[in-house]
A and B are shown apart, each in its own frame.
Chain A
Amino acid sequence: MQKDNDLNEMNNDVPILEAKHLVYEYRTASAKPVRAVYDVSFSVWPGEFIGLIGHTGSGKSTLLQLLNALETPASGTVYFKGQDIFEKRYDRKMLRGKVGLVFQYPEHQLFAETVFADVCFGPLNMGVDRKQAELTAYDTIKKVGLEDECFYKSPFDLSGGQKRRAAIAGVLAMKPEVLILDEPTAGLDPKGRDELLDMIASLRDKENMTIILVSHSMEDVARYADRIMVMNEGRLILDDTVSTVFKRSQEIKTAGLSVPEVSEIVAELSAAGLPIRNDIFTVDEAAEEILRVLKEYRVI
């Protein structure tokens, strides 16, 4: 236990993930390679919750695949806990367990006869013994909030939201330290979106898991992330706190994105003369601030 703590503290001095001058190109039928990621550098610290946003084709999916070595950069590299993941002898199979990637519509990858067997597959494949794999699977399925009666159901008999959770459990069973999710809430109803994002936030809060969330919902990113990275045309154009990023609404819109609806409302109120703070990005904060102003000026 003591040793673990020491290790963790040591690791806090080093970014858990670090991208240095990443460049990625792909080849097409025509001779010239096309550049999809241009000189991207950033550090991710243990326990951060990062929102990664960018329009379709902005390079964010490629970036995710570089972070867990599914793609190889043309130049530049990625460090996981200070080690170069593209070095020849680096154990990239281990890396893909430690930096878990949940693809879009991950439920399309469910295949086993039961949820339990599906979640056991990852650890077994990594060489974990059956007993340990089953214990891990049990914990993980509980953790993603699936009911006991789901354990031995076919994944195909689950609802949309349940299937998505089962698929995420499959990644969590590999005990990742960084969890990267590519639009995990696409197609879920509003309650399902909230439930899933609350579950992801609790992984960070309870286990200090590092989260990188790719989302097209600015509202969700504003509510859950502490830091936002914005990709546009293969470049990392903004990397800062939620409030600093969403204050630059013009750049955000030029990048094919938007700011949360509530931030626009607050900006309009401020422009109309209400003496209100304008660094507000969630409905709860906005309600609190509007009430404060209305009370202070004895309107209510």
Chain B
Amino acid sequence: MSIVDLKNVTFEYIRRDNEGNVDGITTAVDGVSLKVAPGEFIAVLGANGSGKSTLAKHINALLFPTEGAVYVDGMNTADEDKLLEIRSAAGMIFQNPDDQIIGQIVEEDVAFGPENLGVPTDEIRERVSDSLNAVGMSEYGLRSPDRLSGGQKQRVSIASVIAMKPKCIIMDEPTAMIDPGGRREILETAHRLNKDEKITVILITHYMEEVVDADRVFVMDKGKVAMSGTPAEIFSRVSELQELRLTVPQATELAYKLKMAGVPIRDGILTGDELVNAIMKLWPVAK
């Protein structure tokens, strides 16, 4: 069974002018169907306004489809009795960690979710320490969140979501405000949770190099899924991506430019190592 199953999802909202009169209808998500298998690492790309965040909020039951249906771990988000269960099965991480940290100390913040779910105190303790451990923040349990770096804060947000024992985490541009060191920490954490804890990850990002290790990539455009495939498949379509206001990782861009200039290099290069190997293969060995 799929962990996330979107069936022909459309989301429309009514635009109003300053006087509150109806100005028109915007279709933010337009007939999207897709399935995510348990344990997958999915990346979602798309220009600003392409509908990717709106789509993500459907998986966490923050928004409900105008048409179609959203199933999370087999539960329909239209089923009001299941909302709490759906939201603990599919946790959400937002762009700005300061918007989602509420505790005075780190442990308190991580405990908030399970407390709300009515988890017994002993188990809360265990979950808090396991979650902080899973994001590599065990030593910071008693610190105040506002003394942490951006990457550390975002990892605390992730720990707070994990403490609810989700099967799936949706991360909506979790690294947009974070420095390069923090970006690495967050990405490594996401991949570790995916591998070790078998948590399904859906990562929305504008940074192409964060996508290269995903299992599958969806590219959104004007509310629809415009492209889908492995990172190698997606990033070999350079000009199509550029038309969708996107780009490719620098290694891929460099490989593409060399290829266009007549260097015989294969398609689908994603990382620096792959490119270095491809170029050195052309290089005469013995000098």
Residues of A within 8 A of B (CB): 54-57, 104, 113, 154, 157, 159-161, 183, 186-193, 216, 218-219, 253, 256-258, 260-262, 264-265, 268-269, 272-274, 283-284, 286-287, 290-291, 294, 297, 299-300
14 contacts between A and B (CB under 8 A): A55-B179, A55-B180, A56-B149, A157-B15, A159-B48, A160-B48, A187-B95, A187-B173, A189-B245, A190-B206, A191-B245, A265-B272, A268-B272, A297-B284
Whether B261 pairs with A273 at a CB distance below 8 angstroms is no
Given that A160-B48, A291-B263 are known contacts, is A56 also in contact with B18, CB under 8 Å in the complex?
Answer: no
Instruction: With both chains docked as a complex, state the minimum distance between the C-beta of B150 and any C-beta of chain A, in angstroms.
Output: 4
Total contacting residues, chain B, CB less than 8 A: 47
Whether A192 pairs with B48 at a CB distance below 8 angstroms is yes
Given A261-B249, A272-B280, 8 additional A-B pairs, CB 8 A: A57-B149, A183-B177, A192-B48, A262-B254, A265-B251, A269-B276, A291-B261, A294-B282
Residues of B within 8 A of A (CB): 15, 18, 46-49, 95, 149-151, 173, 176-184, 206, 208-209, 242, 245-247, 249-251, 253-254, 257-258, 261-264, 272-273, 275-276, 279-280, 282-284
CA distance A25 to B75 in the complex (A): 53
Whether B254 pairs with A189 at a CB distance below 8 angstroms is no
Given that A190-B246, A265-B250, A272-B276 are known contacts, is A55 also in contact with B182, CB under 8 Å in the complex?
Answer: yes
CA distance A196 to B130 in the complex (A): 43
Instruction: Please give, as numbers and ranges, the residues of chain A lying within 8 Å of B173 by CB-CB distance.
Output: 187
CA distance A287 to B257 in the complex (A): 7
Instruction: With both chains docked as a complex, state the minimum distance between the C-beta of A55 and any C-beta of chain B, in angstroms.
Output: 4
Instruction: Please give, as numbers and ranges, the residues of chain B lying within 8 Å of A264 by CB-CB distance.
Output: 272
A-B interface pairs (CB < 8 A), number: 132
Instruction: Please give, as numbers and ranges, the residues of chain A lying within 8 Å of B176 by CB-CB distance.
Output: 186-187
Instruction: Please give, as numbers and ranges, the residues of chain B lying within 8 Å of A283 by CB-CB distance.
Output: 250, 253-254, 257
Given that A113-B18, A265-B272 are known contacts, is A55 also in contact with B284, CB under 8 Å in the complex?
Answer: no
Q: Which 5 A-B pairs have the closest CB atoms?
A: A256-B181, A191-B245, A56-B150, A258-B180, A190-B247
Whether B279 pairs with A291 at a CB distance below 8 angstroms is no
CA distance A113 to B150 in the complex (A): 34
